[in-house]
Amino acid sequence: MATVVNTIIAKKLLMKNLFLFLFVLLPQVLMAQQPPVIWLETNHQKADYGVLKVKNLPEQLLTALRQKKPLAQDWKKLFPVYTGGKKPTDIDQPSIIGDYFITQTLLCFKPRFFWVNDLHYYCELRLLELASFVQQNYLFSHPSLSYRFEINAPSSPVTSVTKVYPSASALPANLLRMYVYFSAPMRQGQAKKFVKIRDANGAEVPHVFVPIKEELWNHNRTRLTLFFDPGRIKRGLRPHHESGTPLNPGQVYTLEIDKNWQDAQGRELKASFQKRFTTTQADRTQPNPKKWALQLPKGNSKKPLVINALHTIDHALVLRYLYISNAEGQEVKGKWSTANTEKEIRFTPAQQWLSGKYTLHIDTRLEDLAGNSVHRLFDVDTQHTQTLANTAATLTINFEVF
Amino acid sequence: MQKLSYFICLLAWSITSFATDLTENFIKGTPKISSMSQLAFGPQGILFIGDSKSATLFAIALDDKTAPAKKTVLKIADLEGKIAAMLGAKKSDVMVHDVAVNPLSKNIYLAVSRGRAKGDSYWKLPNDLDDATILIRIKNGKEFEEVSLNNIKYSQVTIPNPIDKKKKNWRGKFRPDVITDIAYANGQVYVSGLSNEEFASTFRKIPFPFSNRVNSSSIEIYHAAHGQYETKSPIRTFLPYNLNGKPHILAAYLCTPLVTIPEDQLKNGQHVKGRTIAELGMGNMPLDMVVYKKEGKDYILMANTTRNAMKFSIEDIANTKVNLTTKTKVPFASEGVKYISFPRLLQQLANYDDKNLLVVMRMPNGSLVMGLQPIKWL
């Protein structure tokens, strides 16, 4: 009987103690054991972005500090923040000036000037001195706590060269333009340094591009136009006689884009880019839209209109110099693209094709890779050669969708 | 008799200046200083701050009058590095605009800015690059601290008719030159700089404590290296000094004429012609001048951007009959009063005590050093 009573009492005691332990003692132990933590607020959205914060300091300590109001000269002994990323070796190195303040639960430091991107920082929270400053005794597991930090560590590269036009691997020796597409906006004024043409031996071919200080970029700096020196391409001009053509036929060349080129964010490219190409004889023929073969889409479809141009067309000018109108004369909205090494031009409509008559308008300034336009040849001996006489500003081709 | 009256005057002056608190009419608050272009100390530990951007001269009452307990060792090997550490910045971004020593406490005050990148000046002078907004004090030769200007006692006076903020030439904007140098003497603050007048080079005398009175005179000099009379280029650095018993202003200009101007001619609204006593060579900007006494004689040390520091004997300056009015015969050569070339590229100069000058110099390794130059070795 006695044992039964004893067990009941023991159980009751255990329950009571368990209750005490779980709800009274344990939280206190846990609270007391949480060591102070220093961190930098790195969330750009927050108003206190860039503030250095300390949490888990005993509440009495914070209250005492709030009452005692340490001055700047006190704070730099209690919680100094340094440049250099480690404990300074020079004992006279001044700590960073700024505001120290205490919020509800945090000790904070806001530098007088915002942190600098590629500097490393180091701070030291001297816990023992902090406690003795307010004449209190706390048991900290360490006499001080240090923290290294930096702002905006350089992010890993994400930008790359996505495409280069012309896409063919055999290009005419009198090539006039190349287009380099990037996946993100690039830093301007760097092309000369980072874009090179190399010959078969890997040597840089000098002065192939026209030096244009501003560089030829699209509006958001994702497409760069490389412009081969036309003065050297055109026969009969002085630069041509003095320096010859930039590229010679029957050679192997490599267009090289160095990975050290930084994008607009200051990140290097993911990788260097190379395009190897061979050169053929100079192209001295004009694109002739009258010979273009149209592959017509069906009505009520979004299939592209495919134009076989038989001749490699300048990629960027396709986007600018062609448009299609319907029977009412309104422009058909859609997207122009090139395929099959720019011998094929495609137009994909935004809306489905409706059955009816359409007109393809070709601005005669449309050029091939060597700058020969529908209107005229780029480089022609006018005394001995006759050119196609396309004096009209626009050529049209009518077609019908069924 | 003359000596006696001189002493009586001195005594009377010292009684009045020490008996009266010059900060009596100061107000308490936070002065709105936008650019600490120039610093200079006056009596009673009052710091004058010339602010070109807001065209205002401030007088600050510093609570810093205790003489140092012991002799200070001053040797800061990397001044810009120390300041950079304090501002959490890169060393290359730190710029020291001006340095002044508090004659009472011997603490050193520096006007400092961050961000040299904004500079648009050909001469790349501190004033032109960025606005100095930080006042730093070095205590005991090594303790750096920021001097808070919040809720202090101060007084201010507006510099009338400063050069327009938009005016510029190929070298950059003129506005940083509203106040090119300041000095306190004879109960007034002297201010050199540019006004918005046609004769832009202007010298101002501002009685202290400040009322609203500012006496402005335009200055004309013969610039021998250019072979012409000039009124546009401001005085770069000057010293008030008694030559043959009469107060004068010794002034140095860009490119590099040295000029004397009798102080009593500097009256409000007057156009004053200085006497060019030396042409120190083209392609140089004088940065700072101090006067020091060695073996009973006074000398001047002048710091330059692109020439060695130059040492002049006051005797030579006082006795010279030179008045240059013709073009220098040899380009880059000097003419007129002789100087001794002191082989240091000094950037800042200040009087420290009777045995030492405070110097800030650029070392061949590129670092900026602050230290004391014993006068006995000069």
Residue entry with tokens 């560590």: A153
When mean pLDDT is compared across B10-24, B181-195, B237-251, the lowest value belongs to B10-24
pLDDT digits (tens, 9 = 90+) for B117-136: 444 445 555 555 577 889 99
The predicted structure's pLDDT at residue B181: 96
Q: Between B82, B93, B148, which is nearest A94 by CB?
A: B82
CB neighbour list of residue A207: distance below 8 Å, 6 or more residues apart: A229, A243, A246
Within 8 A of A83 by CB-CB distance, chain B residues are: 84-85, 88-89
Residue B158: pLDDT above 70?
A: yes
pLDDT band at A154 (very low <50, low <70, confident <90, very high): low
The Cα–Cα gap between A372 and A317 comes to 12
CB contact under 8 A, B86 and A88: no
What are the backbone dihedrals phi and psi of residue A360, each rounded to the nearest 5 degrees, phi first? Answer: -95, 120
HEC-encoded secondary structure of A4-17:
HHHHHHHHHHHHHH
CB contact under 8 A, A84 and B88: no
The predicted structure's pLDDT at residue A390: 65
Cβ atoms A197, A306 nearer than 8 A: no
Residue entry with tokens 């959490």: B88
| Residue B172 β-bridge partners | B169
Residue A21: pLDDT above 60?
A: no
Question: Which run of H or of E encompasses B16?
Answer: helix B2-19
Residue A7: pLDDT above 70?
A: no
Residue entry with tokens 């005590």: B353
B88 at the A interface (CB within 8 A)? Answer: yes
Question: Which run of H or of E encompasses A242?
Answer: helix A238-243
Delimit the domains of chain A by residue range: 1-27, 34-150, 163-280, 289-401
Domains A34-150 and A163-280 share a fold: yes
Provide DSSP, A176-238: -EEEEEESS-B-TT-HHHHEEEE-TTS-B-TT-B---TT-EE-TTS-EEEEEB-HHHHSTTSH
ipTM of the complex: 0.84
Cβ atoms B205, B151 nearer than 8 A: no
| Residue B183 β-bridge partners | B190
Cβ atoms B31, B60 nearer than 8 A: yes
Determine the average pLDDT of the residues in A330-349.
93
The predicted structure's pLDDT at residue A14: 60
Q: Between A73, A112, A121, which is nearest B87 by CB?
A: A112
Q: Which residue numbers of A have CB closer than 8 Å to B's CBs? A: 72-73, 81-84, 88, 92-98, 111-113, 115-116, 119, 121
CA B330 to chain centre: 30
Which of B144, B148, B367 is most worth mutating to test chain A (most A CB atoms within 10 A of its CB)?
Answer: B144
Residue entry with tokens 């005492």: A64
B82 at the A interface (CB within 8 A)? Answer: yes
| Residue A253 β-bridge partners | A277
Determine the average pLDDT of the residues in B139-155.
93
Cβ atoms B156, B59 nearer than 8 A: yes
pTM of the full structure: 0.66
Closest CA to A233 of A314, A317, A280, A175: A175
CB contact under 8 A, A113 and B85: no
The predicted structure's pLDDT at residue B121: 47
Determine the average pLDDT of the residues in B217-245.
95
Cβ atoms A264, A187 nearer than 8 A: yes
Within 8 A of A94 by CB-CB distance, chain B residues are: 82-83, 85-86, 144-145
The Cα–Cα gap between A337 and A339 comes to 7
What are the backbone dihedrals phi and psi of residue A147, each rounded to the nearest 5 degrees, phi first? Answer: -150, 130
Residue B301: pLDDT above 70?
A: yes
- A13's tokens: 């005691």
Determine the average pLDDT of the residues in B36-44.
95
> How is domain A34-150 classified at the architecture level of CATH?
Sandwich (2.60)
The Cα–Cα gap between B54 and A203 comes to 58
Tell whether domain A163-280 is in CATH 2.60.40.1220: yes
Question: Which run of H or of E encompasses B87?
Answer: helix B79-87
Shortest CA gap B289–chain A (Å):
30
B147 at the A interface (CB within 8 A)? Answer: no
Return the CATH fold of A289-401: Immunoglobulin-like (2.60.40)
Within 8 A of A52 by CB-CB distance, chain B residues are: none
Within 8 A of A95 by CB-CB distance, chain B residues are: 85-86
CB neighbour list of residue B365: distance below 8 Å, 6 or more residues apart: none
The predicted structure's pLDDT at residue B11: 47
Determine the average pLDDT of the residues in A25-30.
50
Residue entry with tokens 């010059």: B22
The predicted structure's pLDDT at residue B317: 97
B74 at the A interface (CB within 8 A)? Answer: no
The predicted structure's pLDDT at residue B117: 47
The Cα–Cα gap between A182 and A178 comes to 13
